[in-house]
Structure 1
């Protein structure tokens, strides 16, 4: 995401923090495979975002150190390393297991740094470019987190915060099971759960999520917001359908108690592996989402 967001029933671009769930509750190796596949599906949009960041930086030979804060297994950190080959790219995460995965998949291109945020923002070291994808919203005080990242930037440095965007869509409005509008109803349940998660975070502060305004309050000058499309049309390749199946199974675990009975029945039908209406076998399944990136610059 944080790839952390998968624990609340929605796929986003990447990032990872424990947030509301203790690290011990997860099999990080198993989760890493799911998070890697999610990031790989989103790779074209992330590559586009990285190239945009290059254009915003101008003279890229001044980019000596890049941080991916909330890197998970390092897919996006690897794409940032591709876009800024002259820089040291550091994957920063709370999970040692996911950082080991990042090291293994990078072939030595990435450095890694374990950090428990927000307590260890001060240990990140200076950087010329910081990327944080769906990680800030898993910290209680989002404004304080942005201010800490801004303090980490070198003069002229750029902070890129990928937050929210649009929820994933993977089936037509009416796909022949249950009442039409199934995914919109899942979104509503997810948003309630997301708000509860935010409220229960340590030190939680309610914040109007105007990201450019928040970046300004962090002492930076906004340098643009862009949205990047993730579009894999039907029919999906088998690995993408398997990813959707895993995502729907996580939805079933997390949201089932808050779904109407008819929607639980629909969800179970989509998870059935041996029927033509299951997500693994549907020819109408697709993968469509959007990632919004907010950027701001530190004064030179």
Structure 2
């Protein structure tokens, strides 16, 4: 794994295609999200650990809040990084929180986790006075992220740290000239998703450093992590690629030419000879940006 880092002043579904499909039930949607969130945590565990290790905490926090915790990738990484801390994990999905509690119990960490079901665009839940707040791939989903930033500022203990992690978008898995019959397929899928994100997720790609400063924080660091895994790829990476491309297909099907859709279907058909899991050039490439901001 490669990390490119720049330093200086400055759950949810990690691969949301918001507004692009509404054909599945809420339960099916949560199940799909849980699968991809768990795979994301497994495949990118090293990168998550690198971010938690980088956080410029002054003293190890005893109380941490994970906003938009999903199925618990950040929660569990933070518990491992700070062995004396307790985490309050907040998400709007009861099924995600149930999955998080199961994972925490399996890891022997259940007594260090409290879950809170809440819509952070609504009434703010009682979260105590944490020394660290973590928000990974959740801030751009907020209807009014500036309000959320101000609320976090009020919630944090004086001197506390707020870590904002944001994604570059769907990870990429194929070379630019793949597949052979439809070269550039992945880029065309990403372009279609980006057009919809511009409409439905207007805060994606926001200047979070400026927003944090406007909310009263002092931004102490910024880090960009570049992930490049494989080849050869693990079995988990293969499942991650299939799950991600399947989710991508659900969002872009109406946007693609018939030939592109056929090629995409061949890639996600795990029983077929052209499946992405059979490719020896499968990689995971993505970027995530982190801002560390302090309440003075």
Report the 3-state secondary structure (helix = DSSP H, G, I; strand = E; otherwise coil) of the residue aligned with 2:276. coil
Larger relative contact order (Cα-Cα within 8 Å, sequence gap ≥ 6): 2
- Assess, with a 3 A threshold, how the Cα gap between structure 1 residues 264 and 210 changes in structure 2: closer, same or farther: same
Distance 2:150 2:255 in 1: 36
Is the Cα–Cα contact under 8 Å of residues 165 and 227 in structure 1 kept in the other structure?
no
Which whole-Å deviations, capped at 9, do the CAs of 1:219-244 have from their partners, x for residues lacking one? Answer: 10001100223332012122221221
Report the 3-state secondary structure (helix = DSSP H, G, I; strand = E; otherwise coil) of the residue aligned with 1:132. strand
Distance 2:273 2:204 in 1: 45
Report the 3-state secondary structure (helix = DSSP H, G, I; strand = E; otherwise coil) of the residue aligned with 1:185. helix
Which whole-Å deviations, capped at 9, do the CAs of 1:81-101 have from their partners, x for residues lacking one? Answer: 111111111211111221111
Is the Cα–Cα contact under 8 Å of residues 136 and 165 in structure 2 kept in the other structure?
yes
Gaps of 5+ in 1: 10-17, 200-205
1:277 offset after TM fit, Å? 1.9
- Assess, with a 3 A threshold, how the Cα gap between structure 1 residues 24 and 130 changes in structure 2: closer, same or farther: farther
- Matched residue, 2:231: 234
* Aligned alpha-carbon RMSD (Å): 2.5
Correspondences of 1:194-273 after superposition (within 5 Å): 194-198=197-201, 209-273=206-270
- Matched residue, 1:25: 26
Which whole-Å deviations, capped at 9, do the CAs of 1:133-191 have from their partners, x for residues lacking one? Answer: 11111111121121111211110000011112364121111124334322222221111
- Matched residue, 2:58: 58
Structure 1 residue 192 and structure 2 residue 223: aligned? no
Which whole-Å deviations, capped at 9, do the CAs of 1:9-29 have from their partners, x for residues lacking one? Answer: 8xxxxxxxx9x9799623334
> Normalising to structure 2: TM-score of the pair?
0.86
- Matched residue, 1:71: 69
Correspondences of 1:135-150 after superposition (within 5 Å): 135-150=138-153
Distance 2:205 2:229 in 1: 32
> Normalising to structure 1: TM-score of the pair?
0.85
Structure 1 residue 6 and structure 2 residue 15: aligned? yes
- Matched residue, 1:14: none
- Assess, with a 3 A threshold, how the Cα gap between structure 1 residues 110 and 21 changes in structure 2: closer, same or farther: farther
- Matched residue, 2:6: none
Report the 3-state secondary structure (helix = DSSP H, G, I; strand = E; otherwise coil) of the residue aligned with 1:71. coil
Of 167, 172, 177, the residue aligned with 1:169 is 172
